[in-house]
């Protein structure tokens, strides 16, 4: 088995840490990505990075690294702020020809792949993975791990699998919503990408839902968070800490 994946005991430990976190009085409905990073690093004896590299956690010994995401189920995943070089020129050209439009989309996919490949090289890793926590309104949770690319096959996405269109600008509640570049996954004819290059360069990855695990996935664990009434009060927390 790849060193990337947590074993069943490690998955259970990650779930236990998350459940205990939600009993703290400072916790809310969302598990912060930084906390999930720390939990994974603790369980896998890995290191948390505080950089803008693609990976958030890595294990020098196992030569693997993970990109970490933690959101509510309906919250769009931001893959990255995709700051494309010469974006103004590329955007203007994309409105003039299908070839230029495809070129802009290909540039975004290349940006994603290159960013991940740089982490492979910088940290001398054999494999990059994706560690994801999904929280549902009923307080059920799914945590899963997925392989994204390897040193031998460093590309995560194939640019030939996407076609691109610009969305129509619209006004919502008096606020203008700028047009976004949508990337459509050709094999499934579903929208996978939304690049907000006319705004703050966020690249939303709706295709991430296709990565969600099946009920029998060996690299996933499903569990429920404790009821909200089991949260510790601040007084209870202070009492525990003062006894340490």
- Give the separation between CA 129 and CA 131, rounded to whole angstroms: 7
What residues form DSSP beta bridges with 134? 71, 142
Among residues 114, 137, 117, the alpha carbon closest in space to that of 126 is found at 117
pTM attached to this predicted model: 0.92
Distance CA 131, CA 46 (A): 13
Which of 166, 135, 125, 146 lies closest to 71 in space, CA to CA? 135
Domain map of the chain by residue range? 8-242
In DSSP terms, which residues pair with 172 in a beta bridge? 175
DSSP string, 126-191: SEEEEEEEEE-TTSEEEEEEEEEEESSS--SS-GGGEEEEEPPPEEETTEEE---EEEEETTTTEE
* pLDDT tens-place values along the chain, 244 residues long: 579 999 999 999 999 999 999 999 999 889 999 999 999 999 999 999 989 999 999 999 999 999 999 999 999 999 999 999 999 999 999 999 999 999 999 999 999 999 999 999 999 999 999 999 999 999 999 999 999 999 999 999 999 999 999 998 766 554 457 899 999 999 999 999 999 999 999 999 999 999 999 999 999 999 999 999 999 999 998 998 898 8
Pick the CATH number of 8-242 from 2.60.40, 3.40.600, 1.10.260, 3.30.450: 3.40.600
Secondary structure (3-state) at 203: strand
CB atoms within 10 A of CB 177: 14
* Cα 220 from chain centroid (whole Å): 15
């Amino acid at each position: 088995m790849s060193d990337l994946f947590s074993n069943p005991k490690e998955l259970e430990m990650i779930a236990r840490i998350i459940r205990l976190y939600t009993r703290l009085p400072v916790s809310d409905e969302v598990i912060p990505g930084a906390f999930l990073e720390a939990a994974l690093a603790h369980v896998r004896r890995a290191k948390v990075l505080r950089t803008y590299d693609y990976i958030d956690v890595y294990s020098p010994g196992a030569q693997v690294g993970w990109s970490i995401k933690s959101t509510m189920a309906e919250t769009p995943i931001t893959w990255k702020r995709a700051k494309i070089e010469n974006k103004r020129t590329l955007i203007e050209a994309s409105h003039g020809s299908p070839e230029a439009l495809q070129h802009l989309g290909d540039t975004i996919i290349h940006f994603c792949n290159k960013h991940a490949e740089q982490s492979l090289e910088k940290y001398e890793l054999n494999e990059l993975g994706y560690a994801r926590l999904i929280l549902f309104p009923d307080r059920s949770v799914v945590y899963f791990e997925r392989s994204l690319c390897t040193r031998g096959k460093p590309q995560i996405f194939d640019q030939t699998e996407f076609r691109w269109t610009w969305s129509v600008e619209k006004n919502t509640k008096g606020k203008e919503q700028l047009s976004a570049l949508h990337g459509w996954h050709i094999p499934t004819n579903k929208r996978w990408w939304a690049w907000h290059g006319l705004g703050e360069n966020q690249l939303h990855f709706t295709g991430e839902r296709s990565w969600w695990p099946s009920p029998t996935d060996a690299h996933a664990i499903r569990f429920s968070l404790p009821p909200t009434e089991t949260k510790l009060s601040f007084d209870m927390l202070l009492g525990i800490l003062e006894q340490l």
